[in-house]
Every structure is written in C-alpha cells, then in structure tokens.
C-alpha cells in the first residue's frame, strides 16, 4: 500500500513540474513575440519617417530646380517687363511657390505690380492705339487730339480727350500746325489814301504806275519779309528790301532806294493795299 501511495505522489509532482515548464516557456514565447512586435512597430515608424524625409528632399530638389529656372529668367537679356511676366506666370501656376517669397529675391512688390499693370494697360489699349495711329497717318499728321477724338466717336469708339492726349504723347504723335500766312493789311491804320487806280493796272509808259506789297517767306532760318516796288508798265523791279521783320523802317529803305534811282517822278501813281 505504501509503495502505491508514493508512486502516486511522484507522478503528481512530475506533472506539476511539467505544467510549470510549459507555462514558463509560453511566457517566454509571448515576451519574445511582444519584443518582436515592438521592434516591428519601431521599424515601421522609422520607415514612415524615412519616407517623409525622402518626400521632403524631393520637394526641396524640385523647389531648387524651380528657383534655378526663375533665376535663369531673371538673369536673361529679355526686357524687364517680359521677365517679370514670365516669373509671375510660373509662380501662379505652381502652388508650392509663394509670390511674396519670390518678390523678396527678385523685385520690389510695388515695381512688380506696376510692370504687370503697365502691360495690361498696353494690351487693353492695343486696339485704341492702332486706331489712333491709323487716324493720325490717314490724315497726314494734320489731326490733333480733338479731331482724333471726334473721328473716334464717328467710328463708334468711346474715348476721352485726356486719354487721346496721353497716347499721342506716349507715341510721339505730334500734329503739324500750319503757320498763319502773312498779311500786310492790318486793318485801318493811319490815313487811307484814295483808290485812284480803281483796278486799272494798265500803264502806257514807265514810271507812270508803281505798286508794292510785302511777301513772307519761311525757311529753316526762320521768317523773312520781301518788300519790292514793281513798275506796272513792264513788271520791272524798281527797288526792294529784305528784312526779318515787316515794319516802317523796311518801307523807308525801299522808298529811299527807289527815289534815289529816279529823280523825276512827276505824275507817278504809287499803289499799295492802303490805296
């Protein structure tokens, strides 16, 4: 009986030991699994961080390429207005670029927007400008701002006088102003002589009828005034005087020259626009 009891006890003890070993081994496996899971999570986080860094680096590379392209445009020999317009279009098309950031590097904001506004003004007024030039050329530079504005209205355009003036000044369209023709007749001045000839300009002999008038000439030197005395008998020039101003002194010189050549002028009729 005793031996049986002891055997039973030993089997129970061995069973207890086996269950403990199994439990310990299970715990160690779980711990290892947990450790592996932690390491796996760590590597996943590391992988995500690396992916983010790669994306950021790619963005930086792309941004550098874009900045390089902008710098190449700005350093080119193109007109300033054209360069600014190209930079503006590139920045506008790219969400990753900020205009204020770009302007800090390339151009003051006020200058930048002034150039854009200036270009828009030129585009909007392109048709008006062509019409101004056309009207100006069609009329051989004889039309000024008022007549060009009136012609615009006749053609169905609406435009102000000040705008026409600005455009003409901008494109150096200067109307030719005709000079007033010189007229020796200044109205009733002094005593008017009687009209003895009464449009009878026929003379039968020399020194019977003389006539005079003042003619204005214009040239690169300025204005000059010619005052001759003509004999109505044969159109001979009796005397003349050329001066840069038409005045009494010129007439006196001319008369002195005529009278010095001809001493006997009895019965002479001297005709002018004053009788």
3-state secondary structure 77-105: CCCHHHHHHHHHHHHHHCCCCCHHHHHHH
Lowest mean pLDDT among 34-38, 135-139, 238-242: 34-38
pLDDT band at 97 (very low <50, low <70, confident <90, very high): low
Instruction: Report H helices in the chain.
Output: 2-74, 80-93, 99-106, 109-124, 126-138, 145-154, 161-170, 248-261
Q: Is the pLDDT higher at 46 or at 65? A: 46
Lowest mean pLDDT among 12-16, 76-80, 161-165, 170-174: 12-16
- 184: left (phi > 0), else alpha (psi -120 to 50), else beta? alpha
Model confidence, pTM: 0.36
37-to-32, 47, 78 alpha-carbon distances in Å? 8, 15, 62
Residue 67 has what pLDDT?
55
What are the tokens at 60?
């930086």
148-to-43, 125, 126, 161 alpha-carbon distances in Å? 80, 15, 16, 9
In terms of Cβ atoms closer than 10 Å to its own Cβ (0-12, 13-18, 19+), residue 163 is: middle
Q: Is the pLDDT higher at 237 or at 26? A: 237
pLDDT band at 215 (very low <50, low <70, confident <90, very high): confident
Residue 275 has what pLDDT?
40
Given the DSSP bridges, would you call strands 209-212 and 269-271 parallel, antiparallel or unpaired?
parallel
What are the tokens at 99?
């205009």
pLDDT band at 83 (very low <50, low <70, confident <90, very high): low
What are the tokens at 188?
């009733």
What are the tokens at 260?
């010095």
Residue 85 has what pLDDT?
66
CB 160 within 8 A of CB 146: no
pLDDT, tens digit, for every residue of 119-153?
A: 555 666 777 888 888 888 888 888 888 999 999 88
DSSP state, residue 192: P
pLDDT band at 113 (very low <50, low <70, confident <90, very high): low
Residue 125 has what pLDDT?
72
pLDDT band at 271 (very low <50, low <70, confident <90, very high): confident
pLDDT band at 5 (very low <50, low <70, confident <90, very high): very low
Query: Whole-angstrom Cα distance, residue 249 to residue 242?
Result: 11
Residue 96 has what pLDDT?
57
Average pLDDT, the chain: 72
Residue 119 has what pLDDT?
57
Domain segments of the chain: what residues?
Answer: 12-116, 125-170, 209-271
pLDDT, tens digit, for every residue of 218-235?
A: 877 778 888 898 888 888
CB 251 within 8 A of CB 239: no
In terms of Cβ atoms closer than 10 Å to its own Cβ (0-12, 13-18, 19+), residue 210 is: buried
């Amino acid at each position: 009986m005793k031996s049986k009891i002891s055997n039973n006890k030993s089997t129970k003890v061995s069973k207890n030991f086996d269950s403990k070993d199994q439990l310990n081994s299970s715990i160690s496996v779980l711990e290892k699994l947990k450790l592996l899971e932690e390491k796996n999570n760590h590597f996943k986080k590391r992988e995500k961080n690396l992916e983010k860094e790669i994306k950021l680096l790619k963005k930086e590379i792309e941004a550098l390429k874009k900045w390089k392209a902008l710098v190449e445009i700005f350093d080119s020999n193109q007109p300033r207005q054209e360069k600014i317009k190209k930079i503006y279009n590139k920045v506008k098309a790219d969400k990753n670029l900020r205009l204020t950031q770009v302007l800090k590097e390339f151009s003051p904001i006020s200058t930048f927007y002034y150039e854009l506004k200036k270009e828009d003004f030129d585009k909007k007024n392109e048709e008006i400008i062509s019409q101004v030039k056309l009207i100006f050329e069609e009329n051989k530079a004889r039309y000024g701002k008022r007549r060009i504005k009136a012609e615009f209205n006749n053609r169905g355009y609406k435009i102000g006088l000040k705008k026409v003036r600005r455009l003409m000044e901008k494109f150096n369209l200067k109307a030719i102003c005709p000079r007033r023709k010189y007229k020796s007749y200044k109205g009733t001045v002094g005593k008017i002589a009687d009209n003895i000839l009464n449009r009878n300009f026929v003379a039968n002999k020399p020194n019977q009828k003389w006539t005079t008038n003042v003619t204005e000439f214009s040239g690169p030197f300025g204005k000059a005034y010619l005052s001759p005395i003509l004999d109505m008998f044969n159109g001979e020039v009796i005397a003349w005087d050329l001066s840069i101003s038409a005045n009494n002194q010129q007439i006196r010189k001319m008369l002195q020259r005529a009278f010095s050549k001809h001493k006997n002028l009895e019965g002479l009729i001297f005709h002018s626009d004053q009788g």
